[in-house]
Chain A
Amino acid sequence: DAGVIQSPRHEVTEMGQEVTLRCKPISGHNSLFWYRQTMMRGLELLIYFNNNVPIDDSGMPEDRFSAKMPNASFSTLKIQPSEPRDSAVYFCASSFAGPGNTIYFGEGSWLTVV
């Protein structure tokens, strides 16, 4: 079975440009998560969707970040405008909603903003 699929795997962009990261969760999963990983802060939850509805976006850094889930099989994380401090690995993950269920991670999108 295909796992969580993220694109692009690597992106280098200039400061001020718009960045869109994409995610296809595992088929049938109804929870989707966006995490950011940096050396300084480790793994941080940015936003959590359940049944395509954002449940908790308290981790979204600021208004430059936005996330959407238009349907059960697709989500985007957008940064506009991007800044060098946004450089990080962005992980999408999915699961069946429910306590103790395993969360499955994608391979990550490695973003560098220069």
Chain B
Amino acid sequence: AQSVTQLDSQVPVFEEAPVELRCNYSSSVSVYLFWYVQYPNQGLQLLLKYLSGSTLVKGINGFEAEFNKSQTSFHLRKPSVHISDTAEYFCAVEDSGYSTLTFGKGTMLLVSP
């Protein structure tokens, strides 16, 4: 079974600072990778996904992620965060042949003024 590791459970950052949320996955085959965001008391919303092609993927709200096959990583970045980016961020990998997602434990991004 595939697994996803999000190395940081919480990332505090000041408004307008850059941020990187780390994600590593375990897989010996080609994978599809996703980042979802969960705002307080809401469901999960897709930020971006990597299927193939360019390793740099751009998503909504100014976020981007880079797929690194050799390091089995898919880190999420934003050059300048806003208070409204405060939320929990989940990295996920699609299980081969199933179309289901295995999620990491999540990283809480806390943006303060």
In the assembled complex, B110 has its CB within 8 A of some CB on chain A: no
Q: How many residues of B contact A (CB 8 A)?
A: 21
Contact A91 B44 (CB under 8 A): yes
Interface contact A45-B90, CB-CB below 8 Å: no
Q: Does A75 contact B (CB under 8 A)?
A: no
Query: Interface code A32-67, partner B: CB below 8 Å = 1, 0 otherwise?
Result: 010000000011010010100001100000000000
Q: How far is the CA of A91 from the CA of B103 in the complex (A)?
A: 13
Whether a CB of chain B sits under 8 angstroms from the CB of A12 is no
* B43, A99: Cβ atoms closer than 8 Å: no
Q: Given A56-B98, A100-B32: A43 and B103 within 8 A (CB)?
A: yes
Q: Chain A's nearest CB lies how many Å from the CB of B37?
A: 11
In contact, B99 and A101 (Cβ under 8 angstroms): yes
Taking chain A's interface residues, is the majority helix, strand, or loop, or is none over half, making it mixed? strand
Is B105 a contact partner of A42 (Cβ separation < 8 A)? Answer: yes
Q: Within 8 Å CB of B101, what residues of A?
A: 45, 103
**Distance A45 CA – B103 CA, assembled complex (angstroms):** 9
Find the A residue at minimum CB distance from B30: A99
Other-chain residue from A99, A107, A108 in contact with B99 (beta carbon distance below 8 A)? A99
Closest B residue, CB atoms, query A92: B43
Instruction: Using known A-B contacts A42-B103, A42-B106, determine if residue A108 contacts B43 with beta carbons closer than 8 Å.
Output: yes
Within B77-113, the residues touching A (CB, 8 Å) are 90, 94, 97-106
Q: Which of B's residues lie within 8 Å of A, judged by CB? A: 32, 36, 42-46, 49, 51, 90, 94, 97-106
Interface residues of A, Cβ cutoff 8 Å to B? 4, 31, 33, 42-43, 45, 48, 50, 55-56, 91, 93, 95, 97-108
CB-defined A-B contacts under 8 Å, sample of 18? A31-B99, A33-B100, A42-B105, A42-B106, A43-B90, A43-B106, A55-B98, A56-B100, A93-B44, A95-B99, A97-B99, A99-B94, A99-B99, A103-B101, A105-B43, A106-B43, A108-B42, A108-B43
